[in-house]
Amino acid sequence: MATYQDLKGKRVFITGASSGIGAGMAKALAEQGAKLVLHYCKNSLGIKNTLKIVKTIGADATILQGDFRDYASLGELFNQAWLEFNGLDALVNNAGVVTKSTALRDIEGLAFSETLAVNLQAPYRLSTLFAKACIDAGQPGVVINNSSIHGQQTCEWFSAYAASKAGLDAMMKVMAVEWGKHGIRVNNLAPGVVPVERTFDILNQPKMEQKWVKTIPMGRYGSVEEMGQATAFMLSEASAWMTGSTLTIDGGLIARGGYPIRED
Ligand SMILES: NC(=O)c1ccc[n+]([C@@H]2O[C@H](COP(=O)([O-])OP(=O)(O)OC[C@H]3O[C@@H](n4cnc5c(N)ncnc54)[C@H](OP(=O)(O)O)[C@@H]3O)[C@@H](O)[C@H]2O)c1
């Protein structure tokens, strides 16, 4: 594990830390000595578990609840997060919904709207609030959005999800351009296939694993630990000149191109 001394004591707000990649990020940042404000939506058991893990490591951490479908509530959520440790040094927009639906099954666009609300509008709102607070406080800041390889190449079922992630990639670039002069860096992480609680059972079925792993040049899935390590790097001074970039970590899947064909 790489150590980034400058992350010690850094105050980081991570959304969607109750499971999966967000929980992996929380653990990795706790190991670097960061102070954590951990958000969850419904999974109160999951967030308590993440809190226990990071506290066992020795991190100072608190939890906050919020549903990102409620856009109007995000201002108050951000204010609470900012106040937990008397300011924040970084925001990690990790929370997201992975919506699998063909466009023809979502004619009304309900799944589409909900996906955009959680995956794109909430990061927009939280990022802008964070940037404004950093500028008012006269301090630098770092934003990381958890995007996806679906922002770059996609496949059946993912019109809503891919649109939200491609939007996040584009939005990140504009924010990086606008906020560079204020010392605020904005970058995206684009994970490939990373088994999490939500997908363990499906991805670990031998037939499914064979199908996926065949398409990944490194011959395996990624891990939440690897995503946590990448996040630590992207928050640290080791990436001080990195802004407006998407860091793809996918075992080579996108470089090779071609997801397995999804059948209805
Ligand atoms: N796993 C992968 O292969 C992969 C690949 C590429 C990108 N990603 C991205 O990684 C991020 C985390 O996903 P994950 O795979 O780790 O899945 P996950 O374990 O299901 O985590 C999703 C997180 O988002 C939160 N969330 C869901 N709906 C929400 C809402 N309405 N309001 C606020 N928060 C909400 C969840 O909170 P609660 O559970 O507490 O409700 C949970 O903490 C997502 O942005 C996803 O698109 C994942």
Q: What is the CATH number of the domain that holds 159?
A: 3.40.50.720
259 within a domain of the structure (yes/no): no
Query: Going by DSSP bridges, is the β-strand pair 90-93/11-14 parallel, antiparallel, or unpaired?
Result: parallel
Mean pLDDT of the region 108-132: 97
Write down the residue that tokens 């351009």 correspond to. Answer: 177
264 within a domain of the structure (yes/no): no
Residues 39-88 pLDDT 10s = 999 999 999 999 999 999 999 999 999 999 999 999 999 999 999 999 99
Q: Whose CA is nearest to atom 42 of ligand 1?
A: 16
203 within a domain of the structure (yes/no): yes
Q: Report the pLDDT value the prediction gives residue 212, as an integer from 0 to 100.
A: 86
96 CA to centre of ligand 1 in angstroms = 4
Per residue in 70-80, is it b (16+ CB within 10 Å) or e — as a string?
Answer: eeeebeebbeb
| pLDDT tier at 264, thresholds 50, 70, 90 | low
CA distances from 21 to 24, 50, 199, 261 (A): 5, 11, 12, 25
Instruction: Judge if pTM exceeds 0.85.
Output: yes
Determine whether the shortest distance from the Cβ of 118 to ligand 1 is under 6 A.
yes
Mean pLDDT of the region 146-161: 95
Look over the chain and give the mean of its residue pLDDT values, rounded to a whole number: 96
263: pLDDT strictly greater than 90: no
Which is more confident, 46 or 104?
A: 46
261 within a domain of the structure (yes/no): no
Residue 136 phi, psi (nearest 5): -60, -35
Residue 161 designated active-site: yes
Number of structural domains the chain divides into? 1
Determine whether the shortest distance from the Cβ of 126 to ligand 1 is under 6 A.
no
